[in-house]
Chain A
Amino acid sequence: MTRDILLDANLVQHTLRHGTESLPILRGASLHIERGESLAILGPSGSGKSTLLSLLAGFESAQSGEITLCGQSLSGLDEEGRAALRAQHLGFVFQSFALLPQATALQNVELAAQIAGRAQPREKAREALAAVGLAERLDHRPAALSGGEQQRVALARAFVHQPALILADEPTGNLDQRTGARIIELLFGLNREHGTGLLLVTHDLALAERCQRQLHLRDGQLHDDPLPAGAG
């Protein structure tokens, strides 16, 4: 069973501290995601979705609890070790696309393959961009691309090194409905095609419902059931 579990978070706790004040964000959140599975995490603004994603990706260390990515515990790794694990096993899609403005579409995608140490990164980047329908826009910089095209570049970058798991943070948040729908098709298509695990953080219910499972972040914990009526 362990082999099939890509990400396992167990009783993760995290508190933000500002001076003498402290604000608990996560109070024992737990989840797991298996190979090829899609999971949506829902929650209102300020519920701690970004913090959870940040801890799951190893951007920050959890203050308590255990997170395991592809069989390796994040808490046993330093910053360098977490980065190396991320490079090998994770792909990212951000709401703001997070493309390098001065690099071309091809260079943006090539970077991820290069960081992961894949052979022939440029060729792989070309293929990934062709897969998202951007074979003709390889040399365009982000400013010369539409929002939807930029997010497709970001998708190509997330898949180029064939990660085990993709983490997507509100991937359609900055796109109109139609463009967003296309991106979602593409995301799930790639998820099916490559058998990649997909963890989506969103507050878009329609998007969440396309995932196999949904978890709701409430009071610092993850729940299977949706938000109780009248709870805000």
Chain B
Amino acid sequence: MRPARALLLLCLALATAVCASTGALTARVETLLVSRSAATLGGDLLLRSSTPFAAELREQVAQAGLDDSLELSLPTVAFAGERSQLINLRGVDAQWPLRGSARTQPAQSSSAPPPGVVWVDERLATALDVGPGAQVQIGRNEFRVGAVLGAHPGQGNAGFSSLAPQALLRSEEIEAAGLLAEGARSRWYLYVAGPPAAIATLRSQAEEQGLRAAAPGEVRPEIGSALQRADRLLTLAALSSLILLAGVVFLLGRYQLPSWEYETAVLRSLGASRRALLRRLAWPWARDSLFAVAAGTALAVGVHALIGLLLARQQQLALPPAPLAPFLVAAAAGLLLSLVLLPHLLRASATPPARVLRQQHDAASHGLLRGLAWTLLCLVGLSLLLSRSLELLLAGLGLTVLGALLIGLLAWGLLRLLPPGPPLSARGQLRQQGAAAGLQAGALGLGISVLLLLAGLQSQVIAPWQAQLPADAPNRFLLNIQPGQRDALDATLRESGIAEPRIMPMVRGRLVALNGEPVSVEDFDDPETQRWINRDFNLSSAATLPTDNRLLEGDFWTPGTTEALMSADVYAVERLGLEPGSTMTLDVAGQQYEYRVTNLREVQWDSLQPNFFLLVPPAALPVEQATWLTSYYLPPAQSALDRELIGRFPNLTILDLDALLLEIRALTGRALFALQWVFGFTLLAGSLLVLTMLLASAPARRHQAAILRALGLARTRLRALTLREFALLGLLAGGGAALAAQLALATLAQRAFQMPWTPDWRLLLLPPALALLLTALLGWLMLRSTTTTPPARLLKEGA
């Protein structure tokens, strides 16, 4: 097989494999997260109501062929001996849960508690000092504790009330215990599960009836947005591979154009029609493209099985099966990439027959711009196909082109630092090639540097950043601190060694007017804003700008001000269209307060400190309506403090963030793992580009080899010279890549993570070694075709 054809096949297959792998991986992780969220939610859809659901709704559910499970919950008090505790009591039916399962200690055979049995969570077990087998009184009835509940579906569905200790029993027991008296703050939840289309129909019907609905993705928005970011990063990585591969197809077109033109000219001179010529040129191209795309898809299926296997083994993550759609999109992307060749084929088919007489080719720059413009257009098509985002393409193009240029320049700079060698030395050979050597180093180095960037990101930025997290990062959140408890709590925390706890007030208010105009849900189109408006806003106060906040516009007020001013975070600014001077009217416990926005700020949420979208000066907060909250770091050895706090302040809600931190770290690890694979493809794409450049330069190299051999250079010396030249190219590309990656990491560490930077010498030395290996391989591939060129061909050239 001719090398150009082999390269085209490889290139298209790789492009298809890259798109299919990334697309399918994102889809699989998304499916996994949705199903995990569904397990957290307890169903595919959750309907909430403060009154019992209408019988019609249950009928609609049944008619749609959906499964349902009803839960009734209310706050009440549980007693055990002398002890009592305010709890959130949840009554479920035998179908509960529709998705996921409850973890219990000891493990239970039934998915829901049987009649007469209550399952209590750990906090309740601690507060009442009870375990399995103990008796607990709820309402007028006694229940046997069947198990202690761990993580379970629906845990966070009730918002703040679900933060209280929980007890789970059969819903019919609630009425029997006499808890449904008038004035009980009962809430009803209907869990529904079934096919997505039927769920969507039911949801819109329920919302029309004024019920509040939640789907799995909406319950864990922070994971949803993390996935979106990971998806964008993966697409960006895939696009950078595609940009390099588009470069390969483009170069292959340029390389083959002269021979296509010559062939066309000869056939034209013999009388062939343009249509026949176009068919002759296009058929092998179409056939090869289809074959390569099919092979790439098969490769992606294989790679996917492997990724799934590795994820399962290394990350203990079982992915759901991959859907078909990403593979179809990838096949379309592979075919679209093959279209980069089209202008070359069209141009070749239009070659005039007179070319046979002249046997010369137009200047290399002829048609170059048109070809490049078409390639860019194909890339636009590809990025729209993959992400519907031109922004990503621009980012990809910028990163790829600038990255390759930077690495090329660095490599070139390193070469200039070396003393100039004689013409028959690796240095002399590379210097003679000038910009071409720089470009080859750039293309190769780019793939290596992204791999390095990733390795460095993990070892030099993320790991140290995570390591420093426990020092500052709070792992406990205390909510629902009553005004009278504030000082006592502050003293208790200080006594336990927690220095300067930031205890902040929180007032809940509903937005009633913006800039003096009344507002309601209908005034906003964005569903997220509508949901936000529908809830109470949490308002807090600060005398000075919190240290983990950054002022974007306006001035923060001076401490001691009594004016009704407001500081808004970018989230609120974007949702509500706020700007300095806007006014917001909030209804707090029936009374309206108007605040004037004086500054906009950005909160660094990952500090895990208490923070608020909206802040006002302390004197302007209706503090009589406030509860307080705080966060702090509790060393594992002091976990007994949780129990002590609950004992002293039973109404407190303690959020243990250790699990969340673990999940954040696991997610980061998984995203990096997937990225490593995709960046491996970028390295392959870079190598293919270098191979194509070498192929394009092969005639010149063969010519040079023939001259050198005619002058008496032994083949062994020619071989050694070629290998040394490639080895030096590898060292330079690797060196350039290492410098570029360290530069990027230093910028990232200092700008994005505010971390001091120390270079990792291993990452400076490893890439040149890796690049050396790669180029030695490429050089070896080139040896056969160049060093065996007989010098006798020079005798025929001039004839």
Contact = CB atoms under 8 A, between A and B. Distances in A.
A114 interface: yes
A135 interface: no
Interface stretch (A4-12, A16-24, A93-101): A93-101
Contacts of A112: 711-712
Contacts of A107: 423, 428, 432
B798 A83 contact: no
Contact of B424 (A98, A115, A173): A115
Interface string B696-708: 0000100110111
Interface string B783-799: 00000001110111111
Given A90-B712, A100-B704, A122 B432 contact: no
Contacts of A130: none
B713 interface: yes
A98 B433 contact: no
A43 to B, nearest CB: 13
Interface stretch (A51-59, A185-193, A205-213, A215-223): A51-59
B715 A80 contact: yes
Interface residues of B, number: 30
B458 to A, nearest CB: 42
Given A53-B795, A59-B791, A60-B790, A101 B424 contact: no
Interface string A81-92: 001111110101
Nearest to A92: B710
B423 A98 contact: no
Nearest to B437: A102
A114 B712 contact: no
Interface string B443-456: 00000000000000
Interface residues of A, number: 41
A20 B712 CA distance: 33
A108 B708 CA distance: 10
A122 B714 CA distance: 21
A98 B710 contact: yes
Contacts of B798: 94-96, 169-170, 173-174
Given A60-B792, A98-B707, A114-B423, A83 B797 contact: no
B430 to A, nearest CB: 10
B792 A87 contact: no
A73 interface: no
B64 to A, nearest CB: 74
B428 A100 contact: no
A98 B712 contact: no
Interface of B: 422-424, 428, 432-434, 700, 703-704, 706-716, 790-792, 794-799
A68 B716 CA distance: 24
Contacts of A59: 709-710, 790-792, 795
Contacts of A110: 422-423
A131 interface: no
Contacts of A103: 423, 432
B791 A80 contact: no
A50 B796 contact: yes
A169 B795 contact: yes
A79 interface: yes
Nearest to A45: B799
B712 A87 contact: yes
Contact of B716 (A80, A86, A90): A80
B708 A94 contact: no
9 contacts: A50-B792, A59-B710, A59-B791, A87-B711, A100-B703, A111-B423, A116-B712, A169-B795, A170-B798
A121 interface: yes
A199 B545 CA distance: 92
Contact of B795 (A94, A121, A174): A94
A102 B792 contact: no
Nearest to A55: B792
B424 A111 contact: yes
Query: Most chain-B CB neighbours within 10 Å: which of A85, A103, A110?
Result: A103
Given A84-B714, A100-B707, A107-B423, A54 B795 contact: yes
A111 B709 CA distance: 11
Contacts of A87: 711-714
Given A50-B799, A98-B797, A121-B422, A111 B792 contact: no
Contacts of A157: 711
Output the residue of B708, B711, B716 with the most chain A CB within 10 A.
B711
B792 A54 contact: yes
Contact of A96 (B433, B712, B716, B797): B797
B330 to A, nearest CB: 40
A153 B84 CA distance: 104
A50 B711 CA distance: 17
